[in-house]
Structure 1
Amino acid sequence: MWLDLALCLSCLVLSAHGQDRAPLPHSSNHTGKCLYTFMVDNPAQASCPGATGDPEMEGVKSRLTLLEALVNRLLGDKGAGGEGARPGGDKTTQAACFQAMGEKSQLQEDKKQLNRKVQELQKRVDKLSLEAETLKQRPCHQPQAAGVGLQLHEFNQRAASNPSVTAYQEMKAEVTEIPASRLIQEAGQNNKGCGELVSLGEPVLHRKADSINGKYGVWLQDPEAVGGTYSNRTVWRIDTVGNDVRQLFAYEDMEQFAKGFPMKVLVLPEAVESTGATLYRGSLYYQRRRSRTLLRYDLTSESVAARLELPHAGFHGQHPYSWGGYTDVDLAVDEQGLWAIYSTSKAKGAIVVSRLDPESMEVKRSWETKIRKNTVANAFMICGRLYTVASYTAPDTTINHMFDTAIGKGRAMAVPFKNRYRYNSMVDYNPAERKLYAWDNFHMITYDVRLGSPSSTSQ
């Protein structure tokens, strides 16, 4: 279109110039006809310097040059505004995409940093909760010296008789004098002796499993290690998810356990059934898969040292805890030794507690309770007493039953218990550490245990 316009303009310019430059004179002859005449330059005139340098012709050339420049500019603007606009638009789009990708990467990095901060805050919360629980457990009454008690008594008398100090009467405190022998007795009982379970501390996380095999399992320490290769600082772990569980992981201490660096992996000769295994005096005690047979595996010699066919015990899902998992036989350790928690067809699903000889695994004595095994989530022994957990999923549940083997009676109770991760599949007591070890939905945790004075109250 622009090219046609330029050609038209050129023709108009040339035609106008031709009219001014080549007029044809005319006249009539004697016959009446019109005669036109014109002049042609001869060769000598055409060769003159000024023959082709007419100013008007130069002006035409100048106009044509300007027209060509105008046409070129118009064509160039059209290309820039039409076809040339697309590459520019593509570059703008690419720049926007790169910017969006950069912002996405930055947001992902910010998310990772926030997750790390949340984990750090959770650890601090756990630590503060443990400190708060420790403070709660401290006795309110402190022993006072006789002189201090006398001075406080005199101050109270003066405050009561002097009106100017009546404002201090609200701050008076009663001081109970406790004999030193009683304090020593209670301290020894709470730290080393036996007593009834009073409370548990907040759950403390030590490690989280890094694969699906770690959803539930067993982890613990030997309360009475016999020395040699392993000590009471050694941490042991078994992932019990699978049909042929045989690997026993040993960690040098709790620090290496938290990092996930085992110092040794033992392969058990026979597969493990569920989460009921325990450690005691250098041996691992566990139930063989799909049987009522109990094995004592010596950790030093790495061989089976004793075995027991637990009389009439249910196995492989006949009498499990409420969470299932083939938890028919649960082995436990406390201040009095080795125990088996299970049920029989004769007991019709009620929990039976048997005390075992740690060397031969012979049953020394058994007690039948009135607690239905499939109605409780888990159980453990402390000081010859059986305790049961009400739920394995409720975040705030209770230890709801106690059975005292010393008197052969039990009763209901309600000690708060927390399932922080909502799937608690193993609870075991360590009398040396005075802690409960638990496996809660991939998380390996402990609870501090507080015992009170012995009580014979039962029902």
Structure 2
Amino acid sequence: MSRMLWKLLPLLLLPLGTGQAQRTTQDVFMMQYFQRRLQELEERLNRCDQDLQSFNQKVYDMSSEMRGQIRSVNVLKSEIQGHVDNLALRVDRVERDVEYLQNKIPDSSDVEIAESVIEQEVKEAQLKKKVAVTQGKDCSTHLSGIKSQKIVKKAGDLTGSWMKDSTKGSSRIYFFSGSRNSTLLEFVSLKAFTDTNWTRKAEIISLPLAWQGTGHVVYNGFMYYHHANTRNEVLKVHLLNRTVTDRMLLPGAGRMPTYSLSSHTLLDLAVDELGLWAIHADPDFGGNLVVTKLDSNSLAVEHTWDTSCKSHNAEGAFIICGTMYVVYNSHSGGRSSVKCLFDIHDTLLTEEMPVIFFPKRYTSHSGMHYHPKEKQVYAWDDGYQTIYKLDTKRKLQVT
């Protein structure tokens, strides 16, 4: 009996082993299937990631290209605006010249007017133009030489400017160190400025807006200066209460340095016996200097003159009785000299004037400001505050 059980036992266990083997094979197939699916999904995810990276790169490249085009458009916009401003300035000058010629030339309908009456009208028109420039002031002085030089002290940066208020009776000194700042120093007198403890005697004036260059002036208690980070904005600030009382855009200015040896100054302001002036260089006029008469009260442009004086190798300029004197030097340093002038009354010519040399100092002026009452120029000579006393003569009267 026991022998028969042993013979039947393998037969009973065989189906069980076969079923287990079949289940194991199915599990292997399922695992392989899932692995293939997971691998396919992983490959798809990799492709999606690559596509996404490629898309992001394209978006970045497109964004960079658009930013570059926007910058180019902004540059072109600025250039076009400059051309438009310059064209408007030219048109304005032509209109003024045409108006002036119309005042001088009789209209065809007035042919029958007596010749003496016509001549009288022309004289009145010419006289009216001269009066508008001179404002009825007696100014018959021209530069004939440099009488003396006085080095007051050495203070501040290599670049800067200093001056005395041109107001009658004022003795206040103003000190501007550097070519860009929003503060300046005020001294009650030249003696206080030259004192040993001069910094303790200074009043620090903080302006509402920063200045740029060395072309600022102080006139009748107001400071006139080039507003920093603007191309051609002139500000008028009341120094007592530190407020901006007026501002204007000087047509055509700010596109190149006024003087090639003073690259920090884009426009230069000056004061003489006739009032407030502005000087700048015009790249559309060969880099020549342009002189503009300003109304010191309203900053309105009274008249503009194109001159034959070059900005190349110029380091500064000052105006005496409506005549601009341009000071030249060299990039390597040398002796400063006046080699060009422009007289708005056409009574002085450069060809008739000898070259005027400044006392021998092989440096360069970064700021030059004429004081009409003292007949002196306050100059900044490589960090040395210097005063030049001028030799002047009477010039021919305008008739």
- Per the shorter chain, which TM-score range? 0.5 to 0.7
- Superposed, 1:58-457 pairs within 5 Å as 194-209=140-155, 213-224=156-167, 232-241=170-179, 244-259=180-195, 260-261=198-199, 262-291=201-230, 292-315=232-255, 318-391=256-329, 394-407=333-346, 410-412=349-351, 413=353, 414-418=355-359, 420=361, 422-455=363-396
Q: Which secondary structure does the structure 2 equivalent of 1:224 belong to? A: coil
Q: Deviations over 1:247-274 (max 9, x none)?
A: 1100111111012233311111211111
Runs of 4+ in 1 over 3 A off after TM superposition: 392-397
Q: Higher Cα Rg: structure 1 or 2?
A: 1
What amino acid is the match of 2:240?
T
Shift of the 314–193 alpha-carbon distance from structure 1 to 2, 3 Å rule, reads: closer
CA contact (8 A) 1:395 1:418 kept: no
CA contact (8 A) 1:436 1:449 kept: yes
What amino acid is the match of 1:300?
L
Q: Deviations over 1:58-105 (max 9, x none)?
A: xxxxxxxxxxxxxxxxxxxxxxxxxxxxxxxxxxxxxxxxxxxxxxxx
Distance apart, 1:345 and its partner CA: 4.0
Equivalent pairs, count: 254
CA contact (8 A) 1:196 1:455 kept: no
CA RMSD in angstroms comes to 2.2
TM-score, L = length of structure 2: 0.60
Distance apart, 1:375 and its partner CA: 3.1
CA contact (8 A) 2:145 2:391 kept: yes
Give distance in 1, aligned partners of 2:164 and 2:367.
14
Give distance in 2, aligned partners of 1:253 and 1:388.
29
Shift of the 303–329 alpha-carbon distance from structure 1 to 2, 3 Å rule, reads: same
Highest RCO, 1 vs 2 (Cα 8 Å, sep ≥ 6): 2
CA contact (8 A) 1:216 1:441 kept: yes
What amino acid is the match of 1:253?
S
Give distance in 2, aligned partners of 1:421 and 1:439.
13
Which protein is richer in strand relative to its size?
Answer: 2
List alignment gaps of at least 5 residues for structure 2: 1-137
Distance apart, 1:395 and its partner CA: 4.7
Give distance in 1, aligned partners of 2:397 and 2:281.
25
Shift of the 386–425 alpha-carbon distance from structure 1 to 2, 3 Å rule, reads: same
What is the aligned-residue identity percentage? 28
CA contact (8 A) 1:240 1:272 kept: no
- 2:120 equivalent in structure 1: none
Q: Deviations over 1:290-334 (max 9, x none)?
A: 32100011112211111011112124xx23312133222010000
What amino acid is the match of 2:228?
R
Give distance in 2, aligned partners of 1:217 and 1:397.
17
TM-score, L = length of structure 1: 0.52
Q: Which secondary structure does the structure 2 equivalent of 1:452 belong to? A: strand
- Superposed, 1:47-58 pairs within 5 Å as none
Distance apart, 1:410 and its partner CA: 4.1
Q: Deviations over 1:365-409 (max 9, x none)?
A: 000001121332211100100001121675533211111011287
Shift of the 308–431 alpha-carbon distance from structure 1 to 2, 3 Å rule, reads: same
What amino acid is the match of 2:189?
D
Q: Which secondary structure does the structure 1 equivalent of 2:380 belong to? A: strand
